Amino acid sequence: MSLSKLRWIPISKQEKLQIIESNILPSALYGIEMTGGCPSVAKVLQSAIADVIGARAQRRSQLGAFEVQKKKKDLDPEVAIMVRRAALLRRRMDKFPHLEEKIKAIVERYEEVDKECEGKEFDVHDEEGVTLKRAGPVGFFMDNLKEVQARLTIGLDIEHDEEQRISLKHAPWQKLQEDVQELAKKKRSGKAAQEREAYAELQEVDSVAIRAAISKRSPDELNIIRHSASVAGWTAAKKQEAGIQEDNRCQLCQQVENNHAHMQWKCIAIHSKRKETYMKKVNPEDLPKHLLMGMPGMMCKEIHTTFWGRTFGETGTKDKLARAKMGLPKDAAQASPPP
């Protein structure tokens, strides 16, 4: 079954997700562990899957399409490729222990060449002077890691400056796949932050928070959340530019609507219908742009700030319950950052 047909078949979104996970992705990525694949084809596949599982709007971001899903397993082909390559190396070492030393020797040789290149693009030449690239399961996996600013050590540990070390050999099987998947998703969130203004402050998506928030939502509610998180809507200002409406005012509250966060946070008509009363007292200016659209970033490590790193003095929200929901401690006014 093709993705173009699957998009229009009258079945639930969850059934479509199941078909993509169990049928389409395995067929499309068969043998990708051993070959470099075609990046342009992978992007076409990525876009086609996003069309099926994401918001039906040309302006939508692929980040929201893949992140706002109840399934733990990410359906992004670029993420799946990296996970499959890590899984292959682990399976081969478990089944054939003698291959571990060979893999380490390959990694060591690649590292030596990297040092010889002095930080330049990986470049090796054979006896006839033909430029060679990394190849095989080990080389392709090392290239994937490089794309997310990570590396594979000679001891077969995956290292990243902002993450815990992942042991390719000793990590529990399911945990290994989850950790590699989260690492692979960094490329997608980084790309979205560069391309979309609404994600400008986003460094990494908190997938656990998203799944917890949408776990009990109805399909219709989930579609609304996905539409917002994908920045798929048209503001009144954009509609005016396109000639769809005469002015740049919100049709519900008649106020000027010049950004995507208006409907969620500044529209008086929608704000008055909120069931969570504390939400009405949150100052939207205190929230990062991506959170305004429903896309949570990873929590910061500071305990005296909001979950996204703003101190009491940098926020304008006055309500105590609203401040607590934002992560500020009760004595935030007196708290001071550690030296």
Q: Is residue 309 part of a domain?
A: yes
Per-residue pLDDT tens digits for 194-207: 888 888 888 889 99
Question: How does residue 119 score in pLDDT terms, banded at 50, 70 and 90?
Answer: low
Give the pLDDT of residue 216.
Answer: 87
Judgement on whether residues 319 and 247 belong to the same structural domain of the protein: yes
Judgement on whether residues 196 and 253 belong to the same structural domain of the protein: no
Judgement on whether residues 262 and 302 belong to the same structural domain of the protein: yes
Number of domains in the chain: 2
* Percent of the chain scoring above 70 in pLDDT: 92
Q: Is residue 52 part of a domain?
A: yes
* Percent of the chain scoring above 90 in pLDDT: 32
Give the pLDDT of residue 142.
Answer: 92
**Region 162-172: what's the mean pLDDT?**
91
Q: Is residue 129 part of a domain?
A: no
Judgement on whether residues 203 and 251 belong to the same structural domain of the protein: no
- Which residue, among 337, 309, 306, 50, has the nearest Cα to 203 in the 3D structure? 309
Give the pLDDT of residue 247.
Answer: 87
Q: Which of 191, 208, 225 lies at the terminal end of a domain, its last residue? A: 208
Residue 176 · residue 94 · CB < 8 Å: no
Which domain, by its residues, includes 280? 234-325
Judgement on whether residues 191 and 315 belong to the same structural domain of the protein: no
Q: Is residue 335 part of a domain?
A: no
Judgement on whether residues 303 and 252 belong to the same structural domain of the protein: yes
**Region 62-74: what's the mean pLDDT?**
88
- Which residue, among 274, 32, 11, 288, has the nearest Cα to 19 in the 3D structure? 11
Judgement on whether residues 65 and 189 belong to the same structural domain of the protein: yes
**Region 93-119: what's the mean pLDDT?**
85
Q: Is residue 133 part of a domain?
A: no
Which pairs count as long-range contacts for 92-98, CB under 8 Å and 24+ apart, including other chains?
Answer: 92/137, 93/156, 93/168, 93/169
Judgement on whether residues 12 and 75 belong to the same structural domain of the protein: yes
Range with lowest mean pLDDT among 282-286, 316-320, 330-334 = 330-334
List the end-to-end C-alpha distance of the chain, in Å, as a whole number.
59
Give the pLDDT of residue 98.
Answer: 93
Helix axis angle, 207-214 relative to 219-229, nearest 10°? 150
**Is the pLDDT at 57 greater than 80, yes or no?**
no
Strands 124-125 and 150-152, bridge-based pairing: unpaired
Judgement on whether residues 259 and 297 belong to the same structural domain of the protein: yes
Per-residue pLDDT tens digits for 121-142: 555 554 555 455 778 899 999 9
Q: Is residue 251 part of a domain?
A: yes
pTM: 0.84
Give the pLDDT of residue 339.
Answer: 46
Q: Which of 190, 208, 226 lies at the terminal end of a domain, its last residue? A: 208
Q: Is residue 101 part of a domain?
A: no
Q: Is residue 200 part of a domain?
A: yes
Judgement on whether residues 238 and 321 belong to the same structural domain of the protein: yes
- Which residues are CB-neighbours of 263 under 8 A, at least 6 positions away? 233, 250, 252, 257, 270
Residue scoring higher pLDDT (261 or 165): 165
Out of 31-35, 239-243, 300-304, the most confident range is 31-35
Please, what is the average pLDDT of the chain? 86
Judgement on whether residues 201 and 239 belong to the same structural domain of the protein: no
Judgement on whether residues 241 and 195 belong to the same structural domain of the protein: no
- Which residues are CB-neighbours of 120 under 8 A, at least 6 positions away? none
- For residue 282, what are the CA distances in angstroms to 45, 157, 323? 40, 43, 8
Specify the amino acid at residue 84: R
